Amino acid sequence: MDFPRFHVSRSIKNLVVALLLAIESSCDETAVAIVRGTNGERAEVLASEISSQIELHCEFGGVVPELASRNHSLHLRGLVEASLKNAGIRMNEFDAFAATTGPGLASSLLVGSTAAKAMACATGRPFLAINHLEGHLLSPFIDLTFVPPHIALIVSGGHTLLLDVEGLGNYQKLGGTRDDAAGEAYDKVGKMLGLAYPGGPEIEKIAKLGNPQAYHFPRSMLHESHFDFSFSGLKTAVLYTLQKQNAGIHVADLAASFQQAVIDILVRKSFFAAQQTGHTRIAISGGVSLNQALRLAFQQAGNEHGVEIIVASPVFCADNAAMIAFAALLRYLAGESSSLDGDVHPNLPLV
């Protein structure tokens, strides 16, 4: 994404002070956050409000775009007002406003980006269009004002990405999913098992009671020389196992075995990337990174191989506006802003 530059005028003893409000509405979470930070010092999240739509979409087994955008419009104003009240900030005190402009559902993205642009216009402040995936990528470092070199694993319902990160905006894609994302596979397998939507948390809960070695599921592309992922074959293997054994299936064992296969793939690919690039730090973000078994597996592998593992705080793993505000803060401190006449980009890539 091309960011034009502007001059940041507020400073105290050569430290640039910035206060930003950001909106996240890329899918089915309506979120508003306020972040304050200075260059060279730690950032601070002053407010982070989220309105979840899980119960609304649960009966459909997935997100319905029209319902999502309608509810963004319904709840956004209240979240903005709550954020201002909790942070003790007035609208005219902000230095900039930001919103997610892609990737995501077009109708949902429009709600948040339009509101943030309106605030920017009303106050005469800059607007920053933020990539949702960059928000996830930066979320493990949310209390800092710099991005150290590392391998980034973004793993969520819609994305599974491995990137070589040298600093803010300096990202090289190493690999991505060729079919289903890891979180998507969780949801689909959860549906096969008759579990509630979203399937990821339900599978994790049941898997704690099962044997992860009970079923031998495939680890696609595990030993390939590239960094791409594929979870479609794993999902299909679960389906065939259910069809063949039916009444003889032990659900907890199947859930644990499926989860272990996903974890093995993610860990192996991530550490292979670290080995090949020479990085000694792996940062994990996205909704799937909430999974405790995944976190434990990465930490154990990190201890074994001398690699530092950094995982986003649980409150910043799922879709939230704090990660968008933080990304905007770093961009703002670098002297960047976005055009007010820019459009949303449902299929916007990170690199």
Q: Is the pLDDT of residue 321 over 80?
A: yes
- Percentage of residues of the chain with pLDDT beyond 90: 81
Identify the burial level of 85 via C-beta atoms within 10 angstroms of its C-beta, where 0-12 means exposed, 13-18 middle and 19 or more buried: exposed
Look at 253 and 17; give whichever has higher pLDDT. 253
Q: Which CATH number does the domain 150-311 belong to among 1.10.10.10, 3.40.50.970, 3.30.420.40, 3.40.50.720?
A: 3.30.420.40
pLDDT bin (cut points 50, 70, 90) of residue 61 is confident
Q: What is the pLDDT of residues 222-264, one digit of tens each?
A: 888 999 999 999 999 999 999 987 767 899 999 999 999 999 9
What is the pLDDT averaged over residues 317-341?
A: 96
What is the pLDDT averaged over residues 310-326?
A: 96
pLDDT at 14: 56
Q: Is the pLDDT of residue 12 over 60?
A: no
pLDDT bin (cut points 50, 70, 90) of residue 9 is very low
Q: Is the pLDDT of residue 11 over 80?
A: no
pLDDT bin (cut points 50, 70, 90) of residue 52 is confident
Q: Is the pLDDT of residue 349 over 50?
A: yes
Domain limits, the chain: 11-142+317-333, 150-311
Q: Is the pLDDT of residue 4 over 90?
A: no
| Same CATH fold assignment for domains 11-142+317-333 and 150-311 | yes
Question: In this predicted structure, which of 34-43, 169-178, 312-321 has the lowest mean pLDDT?
Answer: 34-43
Q: What pTM did the predictor assign?
A: 0.92
pLDDT at 252: 95
What is the pLDDT averaged over residues 173-186?
A: 95
What is the pLDDT averaged over residues 317-330?
A: 96
Residue 286's CB is within 10 A of a number of other CB atoms, namely 27
User: Does domain 11-142+317-333 sit in CATH 3.30.420.40?
Assistant: yes
Q: Is the pLDDT of residue 218 over 90?
A: yes
Q: Is the pLDDT of residue 8 over 50?
A: no
Q: What is the pLDDT of residues 281-314, one digit of tens each?
A: 999 999 999 999 999 999 999 999 999 999 999 9
Q: What is the pLDDT of residues 146-157, one digit of tens each?
A: 899 999 999 998
